[in-house]
Amino acid sequence: MPRALKKSLPHVALLSYLLVILFPFLFVLFSSVKKDNNAIALNPFGIPKEFVFNNYVEAWVNAKISTYFFNSLYISILASVVSIILASMFAFAVTRMRQGKWNTILFTLVMVGMLIPNNALMLPIYTIVRKMGILNTHWALIIPYIANAIPFTIIILAAFMRSLPREIEEAAVMDGLKAPGIFAKIIVPLTVPAMVTVFIVNFLGNWNEFLLANYFLSNDELRTLPVGMVQFRDQYQMNYAQMSAGIVFSVLPVIVIYAILQEKIIEGVTAGGVKG
Amino acid sequence: MNKALRNPLVFFLFILPALILFTMFFIYPIFSSIYYSFTSWNGVSDTVKSAGISNFEKALGDERFWISVKNNGFFILFSCFVQVPLIILFSLLISNVKKLKGLYKTAVFMPSIMSTAVIGILWGFIYEPNIGLLNKVLGLIGIDPLYWLSDERFAMLSILITNAWQWTGFYIVMVLAAILSIPGELDEAAAIDGATGFQRATRITLPLIVPIISVVIMLSIAGAMKAADIVIVMTKGGPAGSTDVMATYMIKYAITNFKYGYGNAIAVLIFVFTLVVTAVYQLLIARRTERIEY
């Protein structure tokens, strides 16, 4: 085989894979600026002859993207931050405080939690949420999201905290700090890099979550972006150009964040592994 | 030594909030599921009537339940026999190219950070019979439009392809990280001994990444057992229940039809099946592969 061919063969294979990944996005992007279904049907692959940006305006209004977007944003951020606070306290206690066998027992318990297929727990969680009287409020998502992320967050943060040298606390104790002070002033600042990683993973998990968001909320104003998008699709089934604009709206923020933070995101998500 | 880090009360206060949530949303639901799976409770009324094992008998005797089990099985088989070979191939290719490595990695990973719901919508558009991308492409080579999502013969396959499209890149990046962490000397030594690129890939790299492949398969099994949102978004389990998976079957009964006890019996069966599949995999395959020493 000639050398040049041999060298380019892997690139041919990889570029075709890339095409399979990227073309659907381009297809949606092109469709979103076409006039209607007919325009898509006549020229499915290419850039449209005339650009129609009206779809974006209509989708923004009809799909209530702004409402769903901000619902998703604040639910995801709030739940991720609270899980990190609670999980870091737990991780600090089991890795840095000397409670003998309790540390191991509690940590093992959390590890077991990682193995439970969480979709199967949806029904009891539904009942808990209903009994708490928060069904059909945002708390019905925020509290389960916080809880759901806790095992994973504890495991990653505990692994990080365990790697910090013991001498740090000894010095802090000499300076008269108590456990809460050591936690807040010494351990938390040192754990920030790991926290950023788990925050990204938790945030993406919450941002994309569909099942609970679909069944625990019935009020339209409260919906999150994935559920809102599905509902929008069901309502405007026939208008694919407008639907494409809706897809672009919901995918764009994720792509922008990914473009900026891709290294952190890849590192975090693959470390979690189980999140998908 | 120091007392500051030995105070049991402080320890207790630190673990308490996370422990409460963990108990409420992980431990309690398991026992609650098991308990209600033996009742005929509708999820709302005050009286809970025991139903013995009738829920389980009903589920195991229901043809539609077995269709959903089979569909979960398809998810697993598709990942093991279609996705895993692709994952190995593409991660080896990416690790061997010198140019564009970063671009490939970034692009391939992208679908896995997106919402499954939105990807379901996007692919629903691609599968659309009249104007969708797929039929237009097939039309170029003279194939008549196919009704991908509303034809029982293709609906499940369509979902599996979408699922693979979303997750293959995620695993490629995982395996790629493992390949890149193999010390370069091994490869160089083999190259000096005259091994070709293909030989080095199959005789050196491949055996060394067997453990991570095993992890990929485990994760795929776990993912396959909880697949639900993609089915709900793309077909709602249709046509005629042919694409239901266990989780969507459970939701259909428990939430839509108020058969809460029955739904919980399905949840328990999902646990049991997940445990069985994982155990079988560990015993038959994972153990055997560990015997390959390197």
> ipTM of the assembly?
0.86
Minimal C-alpha gap between A114 and chain B (Å) = 10
Is B59 a domain residue? yes
Higher per-residue pLDDT: A39 or A75: A75
Are B91 and B175 in contact, with CB atoms under 8 Å apart?
Answer: yes
Helix (H, G, I), strand (E, B) or coil at B23: helix
Which residue in the set A229, A270, A274 is minimally distant from B117, CB to CB? A229
Are B164 and B78 in contact, with CB atoms under 8 Å apart?
Answer: yes
Residue B170 vs residues A20, A247, B94, B108, B111: alpha-carbon distances, Å: 15, 21, 14, 7, 8
Q: Dump pLDDT digits (tens) for B211-247.
A: 888 888 888 888 888 889 999 999 988 788 899 999 9
The encoded tokens of residue B128 equal 């659309």
Higher per-residue pLDDT: A126 or B256: A126
Q: Which of residues 204-243 of A touch B (CB under 8 A)?
A: 204, 207-208, 210-211, 214-215, 225-227, 229-230, 233, 240, 243
**Structure confidence at residue A276 (pLDDT):** 35
Is B9 a domain residue? no
**Least-confidence region, from A205-209, B52-56, B111-115, B287-291:** B287-291
B1 pLDDT higher than 50: no
Q: What is the pTM of this model?
A: 0.89
Is B16 a domain residue? no
Residue among A1, A32, A119 with most chain B CBs within 10 A, to mutate = A119
Return the beta strands (E) in A97-252 as ranges.
Answer: none
Q: Which residue on chain A is closest to B258 by alpha carbon? A: A123
Are A241 and A32 in contact, with CB atoms under 8 Å apart?
Answer: yes
CATH number, domain with residue B269: 1.10.3720.10
**Residue (of A144, A155, A148, A150) closest to A194 by Cα position:** A155
Q: What is the CA radius of gyration of chain A?
A: 24
Looking at residue B283, what DSSP letter applies? I
Query: Cα(A169)–Cα(B290) distance, rounded to whole angstroms?
Result: 41
Beta carbons within 8 Å of B181's beta carbon, 6+ residues apart: none
**Structure confidence at residue B287 (pLDDT):** 66
Ranked by mean pLDDT, the top range of A136-140, B193-197, B209-213 is A136-140
Is B118 a domain residue? no
Is B233 a domain residue? yes
Across the range B155-173, mean pLDDT stands at: 93
Query: Cα(B148)–Cα(B145) distance, rounded to whole angstroms?
Result: 9
Average pLDDT, chain A: 87
Q: What are the domain boundaries of chain A?
A: 63-273
Across the range B97-109, mean pLDDT stands at: 89
A274 pLDDT higher than 70: no
Region of B237 on the Ramachandran plot (φ > 0 left; ψ -120 to 50 alpha; else beta): left
Residue A67 vs residues A78, A144, A243, B159: alpha-carbon distances, Å: 17, 21, 17, 30
> Can you name the residues that pair with B39 across neighbouring β-strands?
B50
The encoded tokens of residue B94 equal 């990416």
pLDDT band for position B294 (cuts 50, 70, 90) = very low
Is B26 a domain residue? no
Which residue in the set B89, B233, B260 is minimally distant from A123, CB to CB? B260
Across the range A165-180, mean pLDDT stands at: 84
Query: Cα(B274)–Cα(A115) distance, rounded to whole angstroms?
Result: 10
Tell me how many domains chain B contains. Answer: 1
pLDDT band for position A210 (cuts 50, 70, 90) = very high
Q: Which of residues 33-62 of A touch B (CB under 8 A)?
A: 37, 40-41, 44-45
Which residue in the set B96, B103, B226 is minimally distant from A117, CB to CB? B226
Is B138 a domain residue? no
Alpha helices in A175-210, H assignment, sequence order: 179-181, 188-208
Peptide linkage before B17 cis (omega within 30 of 0)? no
Q: What is the CA radius of gyration of chain B?
A: 24
Query: Cα(A248)–Cα(A258) distance, rounded to whole angstroms?
Result: 15
Residue B199 vs residues A64, B207, B212, B285: alpha-carbon distances, Å: 56, 12, 20, 24
**Burial class (CB within 10 angstroms; exposed 0-12, middle 13-18, buried 19+) of B61:** exposed
Q: Domain limits at B221?
A: 55-97+169-290
Q: Which of residues 90-129 of A touch B (CB under 8 A)?
A: 90, 92-94, 96-99, 102, 106, 109-110, 113, 116-128
**Structure confidence at residue B282 (pLDDT):** 81
**Structure confidence at residue B292 (pLDDT):** 46
Looking at domain A63-273, its CATH architecture is Orthogonal Bundle (1.10)
Is B164 a domain residue? no
Which residue in the set A124, A255, A270 is minimally distant from B29, CB to CB? A124
Across the range A147-166, mean pLDDT stands at: 90
Which residue in the set A93, A109, A124 is minimally distant from B32, CB to CB? A124
Query: Cα(B125)–Cα(A242) distance, rounded to whole angstroms?
Result: 12
Task: Count Cβ atoms below 10 Å from residue B225 Cβ, excluding itself.
Answer: 24
